C-alpha cells in the first residue's frame, strides 16, 4: 500500500474511533490526534536539522501513528520503529495499520515502562504527548510522575503541570546521546510557572535547536482550544548558547525568526518572544501600587450568590448579605455607580450570602432553612465548601475601587481585558482581578478625589499589546492574565501621574 492509500485508511479509521467517544471523554484522556500534514511538516524540519536518516524511531504516544506515517514519507528507511499506545482501541487499530510495514506496537502506559539499555535507545523521537490536564490526574499518579522525574533528572515538576510535561521529561531516558526529538506540546509551558520544569530541561539538559510557536488564531487541533508549540532538541553537544525561536506562519516558513540567549532565558519567567526581546526596564510595576488578587471563589455561585430581591422575599436577613458584582457581560458601563445601600446601581442587584456564625448559632429561621436546603443539595460536599468550617464560610476581600476581567477574547485588534471603576461596596467573584491600592496610594486617593478618575483613565488606556504581553494566550485567541502577571505591568507613567496630582 502506498503512502496516499495508507493516509486515507488512517484518516477514516481515526474518524471512526473518535466517533466512539464524546469530545469530553477524549479531552479527559488528552487524546488529540496529530493532523498528518502537521506531522509531515515537523518531520521535514527534523530531517533538515539532523541531516541523516535515523535508524531507530520511537513514537511514545502513538495514537494511529501520524508521525510514523510521516517518517515513511520523509525518510528512505528506518531499521527499527516502535510505537507505544495506552488506549487498547488505538493500539489494536495501529497494529493492524502498520505491522506489515515494520512498526512494533506496544500497548502500555509509556510512563510506566522501564527505559531501554543504552544500546537500544532511539535516535529519533517524534511525539504529540497526551494533553491530560492536572485535575484529571489523581494525587498518587502525580506523586509517581514527580518522583520518577526527580530521580532521573533531578527536576521538580509542579503538581499543576499537565501530563505532557512529565511525559516529555521521562522520554529523556529513551533518547540516545546522538538522538533528536521533536515534541508538539501546548504553548502554555513558555509562560506559566508550572512550565519551569520543562524550561529548565531545555536549557540545562539538552541542546535545544528550535522552538516554534503557532499563532493563537491557528489552533492545530480542531477539537482542542490549545495553542501549540513545536520543540526540537538533541542530546548531543553542549547546552546551547542561544535558541532559535520562531512564530507564526508554518514551521518551515515562519513569520518571525530570532535567536535568544540562553543566559536571558534562564532568568526569564516567560519565554514568549516579545517579552524577552522587549526586556522592559520599567522601575515601577502596577503591583508596586496595588495589591492584585483574584475575586472570591464561593464554592457554588448558584447557591451563594442570590438575586437581592429574591433573598429579601425569602426573608434572609440583610446582615448576612453582601453586595457582589455580576459577570462583566452584565455590566453595560465601565463605571459602576452605587445606590444608597452600597449595592451597584444596576437593574439586577446580586447579594453574596456571607454568614460568619456556626449553624447552631443562626437565629433567622429563613436563613437556617436556606442553609439546610444547601445541605440537601450537597453543596457542603463540594471541593471548596468541604474544606471550610462552617462549610458556608466565605473568603474575605476588601472592596476594590478598580477591577480587571481576567479572561477574554476581544474584538479583532481590540483589548481582551476590561477595566472597571467600582464606586459601590460590591466585592467580586473570581472572574475578576481586584486592584486594591497600597499605602500611601490608598490615603492619597481618599485625600485627593481627582486621583481615582485619573488612575482609571490610565488603566483604560493600556494597549492590547502591553496587557497581552504580560498574560498568556490559548487557542482561538482566548487571552488570560493572572494577578502576578497584571502586577508586572510597567507603571512608571502612572507613578508620575500620581505624583503630579
pLDDT in tens, 357-372: 999 999 999 999 999 9
So what's the pLDDT on residue 281? 47
The answer to whether the beta carbons of residues 369 and 317 sit under 8 Å apart is no
Residue-averaged pLDDT of the chain: 87
Q: Answer with the residue of higher pLDDT: 331 or 133.
A: 331
pLDDT confidence bin for 217, thresholds 50/70/90? low
Domain segments of the chain as ranges: 33-61+69-80+115-278, 280-297+397-501, 301-394
Same fold, 33-61+69-80+115-278 and 280-297+397-501: no
CA 357 to each of CA 145, 265, 370, 431: distance values in angstroms, whole numbers, following the listed order: 42, 50, 14, 27
So what's the pLDDT on residue 223? 44
Q: Per-residue pLDDT averaged across 12-36, rounded?
A: 73
pTM beyond 0.75, yes or no: no
| One CATH from 3.40.50, 2.60.40, 2.40.128, 3.90.220 for 280-297+397-501 | 3.90.220
So what's the pLDDT on residue 456? 97
| Residue 280 pLDDT greater than 70, yes or no | no
Beta bridge partners, 405, equal 432
Buried b (16+ CB within 10 A) or exposed e, 189-206: bbbbebbbbbbbbbbebb
The answer to whether the beta carbons of residues 277 and 269 sit under 8 Å apart is no
Q: Answer with the residue of higher pLDDT: 48 or 307.
A: 307
pLDDT digits (tens, 9 = 90+) for 430-485: 999 999 999 999 999 999 999 999 999 999 998 877 787 666 666 566 788 888 88
Distance CA 173, CA 14 (A): 30
The answer to whether the beta carbons of residues 36 and 70 sit under 8 Å apart is yes
So what's the pLDDT on residue 277? 47
- Among 72-86, 108-122, 379-393, whose mean pLDDT is lowest? 72-86
User: Which residues have CB under 8 Å from 25's CB, separation 6+?
Assistant: none
Closest by alpha carbon to 89, among 105, 100, 67, 103? 105
pLDDT digits (tens, 9 = 90+) for 114-153: 999 999 999 999 999 988 888 778 899 999 999 999 999 9
The answer to whether the beta carbons of residues 71 and 78 sit under 8 Å apart is yes
pLDDT confidence bin for 279, thresholds 50/70/90? very low
For helices 3-19 and 36-50, give the axis angle rounded to 10 degrees.
Answer: 130
So what's the pLDDT on residue 97? 87
Distance CA 288, CA 291 (A): 8
| Residue 79 pLDDT greater than 50, yes or no | yes
CATH T-level fold of 33-61+69-80+115-278:
Rossmann fold (3.40.50)
Helix (H) or strand (E) holding 257: strand 256-261
Amino acid at each position: 500500500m502506498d503512502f496516499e492509500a495508507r493516509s486515507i485508511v488512517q484518516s477514516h479509521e481515526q474518524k471512526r474511533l473518535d466517533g466512539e467517544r464524546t469530545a469530553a471523554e477524549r479531552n479527559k484522556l488528552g487524546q488529540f490526534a496529530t493532523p498528518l500534514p502537521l506531522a509531515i511538516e515537523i518531520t521535514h524540519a527534523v530531517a533538515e536539522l539532523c541531516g541523516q536518516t535515523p535508524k531507530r524511531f520511537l513514537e511514545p504516544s502513538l495514537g494511529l501513528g501520524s508521525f510514523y506515517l510521516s517518517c515513511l514519507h520523509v525518510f528512505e528507511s528506518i531499521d527499527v520503529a516502535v510505537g507505544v499506545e495506552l488506549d487498547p482501541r488505538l493500539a489494536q487499530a495501529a497494529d493492524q495499520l502498520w505491522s506489515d510495514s515494520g512498526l512494533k506496537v506496544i500497548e502500555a502506559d509509556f510512563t510506566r515502562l522501564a527505559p531501554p539499555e543504552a544500546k537500544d535507545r532511539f535516535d529519533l523521537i517524534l511525539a504529540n504527548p497526551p494533553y491530560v490536564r492536572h485535575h484529571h490526574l489523581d494525587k498518587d499518579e502525580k506523586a509517581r510522575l514527580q518522583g520518577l522525574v526527580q530521580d532521573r533528572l533531578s527536576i521538580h515538576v509542579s503538581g499543576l503541570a499537565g501530563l505532557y510535561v512529565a511525559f516529555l521529561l521521562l522520554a529523556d531516558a529513551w533518547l540516545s546521546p546522538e538522538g533528536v526529538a521533536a515534541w508538539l506540546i501546548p504553548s502554555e509551558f513558555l509562560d506559566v510557572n508550572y512550565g519551569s520544569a520543562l524550561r529548565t530541561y531545555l536549557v540545562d539538559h539538552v541542546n535545544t535547536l528550535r522552538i516554534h510557536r503557532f499563532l493563537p488564531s491557528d489552533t492545530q487541533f480542531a477539537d482542542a482550544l490549545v495553542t501549540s508549540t513545536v520543540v526540537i532538541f538533541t542530546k548531543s553537544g553542549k547546552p546551547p548558547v542561544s535558541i532559535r525561536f520562531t512564530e507564526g506562519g508554518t514551521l518551515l516558513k515562519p513569520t518571525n525568526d530570532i535567536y535568544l540567549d540562553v543566559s536571558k532565558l534562564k532568568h526569564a519567567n516567560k519565554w514568549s518572544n516579545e517579552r524577552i526581546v522587549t526586556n522592559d526596564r520599567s522601575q515601577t510595576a502596577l503591583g508596586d501600587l496595588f495589591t492584585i488578587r483574584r475575586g472570591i471563589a464561593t464554592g457554588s455561585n448558584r447557591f451563594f450568590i442570590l438575586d437581592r430581591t429574591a433573598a429579601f422575599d425569602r426573608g434572609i436577613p440583610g446582615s448576612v448579605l453582601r453586595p457582589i458584582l455580576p459577570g462583566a457581560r452584565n455590566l453595560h458601563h465601565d463605571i459602576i455607580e452605587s445606590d444608597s445601600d452600597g449595592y451597584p446601581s444596576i437593574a439586577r442587584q446580586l447579594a453574596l450570602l456571607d454568614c460568619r456564625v456556626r449553624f447552631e448559632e443562626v437565629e433567622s429561621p429563613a436563613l437556617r432553612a436556606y442553609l439546610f436546603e444547601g445541605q440537601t443539595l450537597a453543596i457542603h460536599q463540594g471541593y471548596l465548601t468541604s474544606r471550610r468550617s462552617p462549610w458556608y464560610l466565605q473568603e474575605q476581600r476588601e472592596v476594590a475601587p478598580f477591577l480587571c476581567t481576567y479572561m477574554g477574547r476581544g474584538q479583532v485588534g481590540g483589548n481582551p481585558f476590561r477595566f472597571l471603576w467600582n464606586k459601590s461596596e460590591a466585592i467580586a467573584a473570581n472572574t475578576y482581578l481586584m486592584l486594591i491600592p497600597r499605602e500611601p496610594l490608598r490615603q492619597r486617593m481618599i485625600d485627593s478625589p481627582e486621583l481615582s478618575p485619573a488612575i482609571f483613565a490610565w488603566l483604560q488606556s493600556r494597549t492590547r499589546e502591553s496587557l497581552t504581553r504580560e498574560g498568556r494566550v490559548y487557542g482561538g485567541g482566548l487571552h488570560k492574565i493572572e494577578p502576578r502577571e497584571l502586577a508586572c505591568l510597567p507603571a512608571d507613567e502612572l507613578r508620575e501621574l500620581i505624583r503630579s496630582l
